[in-house]
Amino acid sequence: MTGKKIITVFGATGAQGGAVADTFLHDAKLKSDWTVRAVTRNTTSEAAQKLKSQGAEVVAADLNDKATLLKAVEGASAVFAVTNYWEKADHELELRQGKALVDAAKDAGVHHFIWSSLINVSKLSNGKLPHVYHFDSKAQVEEYARGVGLPATFFLPGFYMSNIPGGMLRPNPDRDNAWTFSLPVPATAPIPVFDPADTGKYVKAAVLHRDAVLSRRILGATAYLTGTEIVEGFKKVFPEAGETATYRQQSEAEYLAALTGKGTPEFIAQELLENMLLLDQFGYYGGASLDETHALIEDELTTWEDYVRKSTKWPADLK
């Protein structure tokens, strides 16, 4: 027996879970007190084997099989739980999986359940934006966890910086390939930018301040930036490419057509549109300040300019 506490990390080979596992395996303040139980569907994958080589206990579990979930959380002091709506784009499935994770943690007597959650957009918008299923399903799991009395903290990841390079910010063939950042919201809409690689920093803060953050939300974002500020950050890192870079507001119809033209199902395109409209109309976090969360974080969070410098999604010849 090592005497260490166990943190069970679901999605340990994914973006959020992988970052949590990495932090708890290597952080000087955590690694002597915690051991990582990394949960994945495929324990023989390269990513799983890498975690094992770094000292994690790698176990298999199926989010659709509660018995395997219970086994994965037994004896754990803390659990980081995340689901992937986009794998099936089925909000009822995500809700069932999330509730199963809550039930397993409750049955196992987990001391601190950290759920990767989001706000309920249907409620926030009073039904105006009713199709942002990947937010609402996670919010319903949060509500369920609160209802059963599970000691929990809710981590709400922000707007992934990784979605911006090459997709939202790219050369525009209609403007001599000048770089253009395009979304169907005004240039002034506040965007809470988040590097998924920072997830472990937030979860570290949650376990170090466990009593203070029980039943509270931790907002996973470095800063609120406007579309204009995101372009300006790009320009600072790549002044030559960014010389003519601009922000351009798309129409809703244009945004939908671009998605469906690439084969995106209409219901997903509508969901993504409403997700974007949320930024300007109601606020990604409903207008909440990031200050309370930042006061808990002791590690430096990745800025947008930091991310621009390190991203491998840009063209190799970008200057």
Q: What local confidence, expressed as pLDDT, does residue 250 receive?
A: 97
CA-based nearest residue to 195, from 220, 161, 154: 161
Q: Are 231 and 247 in contact (CB under 8 A)?
A: yes
- pLDDT digit string (tens) for 169-201? 999 998 888 999 999 999 999 999 999 999 999
**Axis-axis angle for helices 199-208, 15-26 (nearest 10):** 60
Considering only the top CATH level, what class is 5-157+195-221+286-301?
alpha beta
pLDDT (0 to 100) of residue 174: 86
Return d(Cα 238, Cα 216) in angstroms, integer. Answer: 39
Task: State the number of CA atoms in the 13 A half-sphere of 103 facing the CB.
Answer: 13
Residue 60, pLDDT score: 97
Condensed to tens digits (0 to 9), the pLDDT of residues 236-281 reads 999 998 899 999 999 999 999 999 999 999 999 999 999 999 999 9
Q: How far apart are CA 237 and CA 307, in angstroms?
A: 10
Distance CA 100, CA 67 (A): 10
Question: What digits encode the pLDDT tens for the residues 7-43?
Answer: 999 999 999 999 999 999 999 999 999 999 999 999 9
pLDDT band, residue 2 (cuts 50/70/90) = low
Q: How confident is the model at residue 316 (pLDDT cuts 50, 70, 90)?
A: confident
pLDDT of 78 higher than 90 = yes
Q: What is the pLDDT of residue 1?
A: 42
pLDDT tens digits, one per residue of 127-138: 999 999 999 999
